[in-house]
Amino acid sequence: MIPALDPDVVQWSVAPDERGDRPVVLLLHGYGSDELDLTGLIPHLPDAFVYAAVRAPLSPPWPAPGYSWYPIEGLDDRSAEPITAAARRVLEWADAVGLGEFGMLGFSQGGAVSLQTLRVAPERVSFVVNLAGYATPGEVPGDATLRTAKPPVFWGRGALDQVIPEPLVAHTVEWLPGYSDLSGRVYAGLAHAVNGDELADVATFLAKRLS
């Protein structure tokens, strides 16, 4: 069971009275990290957005630090159920804070949950940035909408990334073009991380969403 998100640990890029009607991007960290991890990206991204970095609800098995969105045991053939449950928790939190439509940027597990949130509620998620993540195998009811709507998705990953199992990478390569307006890049010399070139590409992608 995936617990609810903790609203008290969310890191917002601006104070509540400064948000106004600016578009919101949710930041979802990776396995073993926390809500502070991706806040370091914010100064490099368009400041027309409001960014909200949320904490995953699970604690990984000891001695792993940080938090996780879903268990990673058996990742090669993992059921979509826990990832979908995590996506629904994100949507519940968004409802609780009064968000309507929003964008998402996730790293690794956070990227997988971001894509799954888009698939669960395509009417709520306007775009996704998936960094070193993947598309979860299996059908989701919102997929039928995505085949027609094809919302913008950026997928970036390192050529040396050995964290995400190859079958999941292969599935994502096949799946994303049919369900999104896909852009992205494989970065030479990069492992399971984000570098300056990728961050610049993400900033460009987000700036296009503003226009």
- Reported as a single tens digit per residue, the pLDDT across 126-170 is 999 999 999 999 999 999 999 999 999 999 999 999 999 999 999
- Record the pTM: 0.95
- Note whether residue 121 is domain-resident: yes
| CATH number of domain containing 153 | 3.40.50.1820
What is the domain range of residue 201?
7-210
- Note whether residue 2 is domain-resident: no
Indicate whether 17 pLDDT > 90. no
pLDDT bin (cut points 50, 70, 90) of residue 63 is: confident
The total number of structural domains that make up the chain: 1
Average per-residue pLDDT for the chain: 94
Predicted local distance difference test score (pLDDT) of residue 162: 95
- Note whether residue 163 is domain-resident: yes
User: What are residue 165's DSSP bridge partners?
Assistant: none
- Note whether residue 143 is domain-resident: yes
